[in-house]
Structure 1
């Protein structure tokens, strides 16, 4: 049985991608991702995490970010 990630903490994304907070928030903004708050922590969905993973792929052209936007 394969389970899908419902939410992933934004705080851990910087470590996951080895990027700074400002770079992370530029990526989130570029993709149109608005993290959801639960208590004091913000999360992205599994679908949004997949988009971020694709953007982090070394073969990806970051200038193409606008075509991946979440609407």
Structure 2
């Protein structure tokens, strides 16, 4: 379960308020509010869809980091 899901569940069950959940889970209070009030679903994310899968991104970033290290060693 994600931090956002935990925060929303805590607020909905009245075990904590928006501010406390925001601080505890390190999330914007407005995000928690929007999810609890139903303005946007928990699955809804901001920005464009991702192009790479998580595995592809890890591989590509690892390759980039190796290339960068090799290049900076030459300088």
**Fold conserved (TM > 0.5)?**
no
Report which of the two has the higher share of helix: 2
TM-score, scaled to structure 1: 0.31
**Which structure has the higher relative contact order (CA within 8 Å, separation 6+)?**
1
Report which of the two has the higher share of strand: 1
Kindly name which structure, 1 or 2, has the bigger radius of gyration based on alpha carbons.
2
TM-score, scaled to structure 2: 0.29
